[in-house]
Structure 1
Amino acid sequence: MKITKILNNNAVVVTDGNQEKIAVGSGIAFHKRKNDIVNVHKIEKLFVIRENEKLEQLLSRIPEEHFTISEEIISYAEKYLGTKLNEHIHIVLTDHLSFAIEREREGIHLKNKLLQEIKILYKEEFEIGLWALTHIKEKLGFDIPIDEAAYIALHIHTMKPQGGDLRQTVRQTTILRDMVHSIKRFLKIKIEEDDISYHRLITHLRFTLERGKGYEVHSMDREMLEMIKKKFRKSFECASEMARELSSFHGIDLPEQELGYITLHIERLRKV
C-alpha cells in the first residue's frame, strides 16, 4: 500500500490496488512522505467507507488524540454491545467528541435536558457513555460533565443496526420528557427519578409511542377500562390531561384503552 496523503502522524490515505483507504496506526506517518510504502504492521485500523473525504477533512482539522480517544470508545462500544456500529460513527462521534472536549476546555458546559430519560431508555449506551467520560479523564486529565455521557449514548444508539435516525430519537425522547412533565404538573408531586415506578412509567410511555406507529396494539376490554376509570379516577384524569397535551403539542392521539394502562402506572407513582 502506497501513501497518497498524510493526514496526521497517526493517519494516512493509501491506495490498495485500485481502492483508496484510510490507514490508522500509532506513528504510521512518522518520517513518511507521499508515495512511500506504508508499514502494514503499523496499521491498527483500515477504513473503506463511503465518506472517506469527510473523514479525511475531519482528521486534518482536529487533534490526533481526539480521534484516538473516539476510536477507543467505538471499539469499547462494539465489544460491550456485541455488534458492529454503522461506519458513520467514525465521523459523527469523533466530530462530536472533539467539539465537546474543546468546549469543556473553554469552560462552556452544555446541559442535556433529556439526561434522565436517556439514562432509562438507553441504559447500555449510557453505560458506554459513562465509560467514555472516565476514559477521557484518564487520557486528558480533566472531567467531562455527566450530560455528555447522554449525548454519547444517543450517538451510539442511532449507529446500532436498526438504531434509527438521531433526530427522530431525540424527538421521541423529548416527547417522553413532555409526557412525564405533564404528569408531574397534574399530580403536583416530586417524582424520584431513580425510583423503579418512574422507570416503569418511562419504559411504558416509550412503547406507547411505538404502538402509536402501528408496531403493536394494546387491547383492554371495556369492562376493565371502566373499572380502572372509577377506581383510579384522579390517575385517569391525569392520564387524560397528558394525552390532551400530547395531541395538542405533538399531534399524537392515544386510544382510551392505552390511557387505562398509563393510569395504572400513574397510580403506582402516586403511592410512592
Structure 2
Amino acid sequence: MKINKVLNNNVVVVKEGHEEIIVMGSGLAFGRKKNDVINPEKIEKVFVMQDKNEYEKFTQIIHMLPEEHISLAEQIITYAEKYLRTNLNEHVHIALADHLSFAIDRIKQGFSLHNKLLHEIKALYPTEFEVGKWAVELVYDQVGIRLPEDEAGHLALHIHTAKMNGSTMNEVMNTTVILHELITLIEETLQVRVEEESISYQRLMTHLNFALKRVVEQQPFQDVDPEMHDLVKDKYQQSYETSLKLAEHVKDRLEQKLPPSELVYLTLHIQRIEKKKENEV
C-alpha cells in the first residue's frame, strides 16, 4: 500500500484503482512522502469517502484542526461503532471532529454552552449518551480538558444522526426541540416539575417520540374504542385538556393532527404525572 497524498503525520490517502482510501494511524506518515510504502503495523483505521464533496471537506478539516483533536474524534467514532454495533456514515468524520475541536477551544477560553435539550437526549438516546460520556472522559484523559455533561449530549446527537440510514441532524434536532416544548407545556399547564429520572418521564418521552415519528412519516396510529376514549376524557378531565394542548402544539409545529386515539394514550401518561403531583401535596 503506497501513499498517494499525505494529509498530516497520522493520515494519508492511498489509491486502489480509481478509489481513494483514507488510512489513519499514529505517526503513520511521519517523515513519509508520496509513493512511500505504508508500514501495515501502524495502520489503525481504513475508510472510504464515496462522496467527493465529503472527501474535500475532510481534507480541509484535517489541515485546519489540531492533529490531537482529529485523533480524539476518530477514537470516539471507533468506540461508538463497537459500542453501538453499527457503522456510522462518512460525514461523522467531519462533523464530530469539527464540533469536538470547537468545544475544546471554547472550554479553554472559559466559555461553556448550556444544552437545553440534555434531559431529552438522555431519555431518547441513552446508549449514544453513554458514548458521549465516554468521549468526555477520553478528552480529559488525553488533553486534560474537562468538557461538561452538556457536551456529552451534543456528541450523542452527532453519533445518533451518524447511524447508517438514520435521520439527519436537522430532523433529530427538530424532533428533540418539539419534545422539549411539549414537556415544558405539560409543566406549565399542570404547574408541576416533571422529574427527568422518573419512569413516568421516560415512558412519556418514548411515547411522544414515536408519536412524532408516526406523524412525520404519516404512519397509522393504533385505534382506541370510542367508549374508552369517552371514559378517559370524562375521568381525567385536566389531563385530557392538557393532551389537547399538546395536540394543538404538534399541529402548529408539524401541520398535522394527532388522532383522537393518541389523545387517550397521552392523557394516561399525563395522568401519571398529575397523580404524582397530587400525592405530594
Which interval holds the TM-score relative to the shorter structure? over 0.9
* Equivalent position of 2:232 in the other structure: 228
Q: Take 1:204 and 1:41, find their aligned partners in 2: how far apart are those partners? A: 49
* Equivalent position of 2:268 in the other structure: 264
| TM-superposed deviation, 1:178 | 1.0
Contact 2:221 2:262 in 1 (8 A): no
Q: Take 2:220 and 2:70, find their aligned partners in 1: how far apart are those partners? A: 41
| TM-superposed deviation, 1:41 | 2.6
- What pairs with 1:200-239 in structure 2 (closer than 5 Å)? 200-212=203-215, 213-239=217-243
- What pairs with 1:54-93 in structure 2 (closer than 5 Å)? 54-93=57-96
- What pairs with 1:1-272 in structure 2 (closer than 5 Å)? 1-50=1-50, 51-212=54-215, 213-272=217-276
Q: Take 2:103 and 2:257, find their aligned partners in 1: how far apart are those partners? A: 37
| TM-superposed deviation, 1:146 | 0.7
Contact 2:221 2:261 in 1 (8 A): no
Contact 1:21 1:52 in 2 (8 A): no
| TM-superposed deviation, 1:35 | 3.4
Most deviating of 159-168 and 240-249: 240-249
How large is the RMSD of aligned CA atoms in angstroms?
1.6
State the number of aligned residues: 272
Contact 1:22 1:52 in 2 (8 A): no
User: Alignment partner of 1:33: what SS?
Assistant: coil
User: Alignment partner of 2:201: what SS?
Assistant: helix
> Cα–Cα, structure 1 residues 218 and 18, in superposed 2: closer, same or farther, change >3 Å?
closer
Contact 1:158 1:165 in 2 (8 A): yes
Alignment-mate amino acid for residue 198 of structure 1: Y
Give a deviation string over 1:127-158, Cα, whole Å, max 9, x none: 11111101111111121011111111111111
Q: Take 1:230 and 1:170, find their aligned partners in 2: how far apart are those partners? A: 36
Alignment-mate amino acid for residue 56 of structure 1: T
Q: Take 2:93 and 2:45, find their aligned partners in 1: how far apart are those partners? A: 11
Gaps of 5+ in 2: 277-281
Q: Take 1:150 and 1:177, find their aligned partners in 2: how far apart are those partners? A: 14
Instruction: Give the TM-score normalised by structure 2.
Output: 0.91
| TM-superposed deviation, 1:22 | 2.2
> Cα–Cα, structure 1 residues 34 and 8, in superposed 2: closer, same or farther, change >3 Å?
same
Contact 1:219 1:257 in 2 (8 A): yes
Contact 1:210 1:216 in 2 (8 A): no
| TM-superposed deviation, 1:249 | 4.2
User: Alignment partner of 1:13: what SS?
Assistant: strand
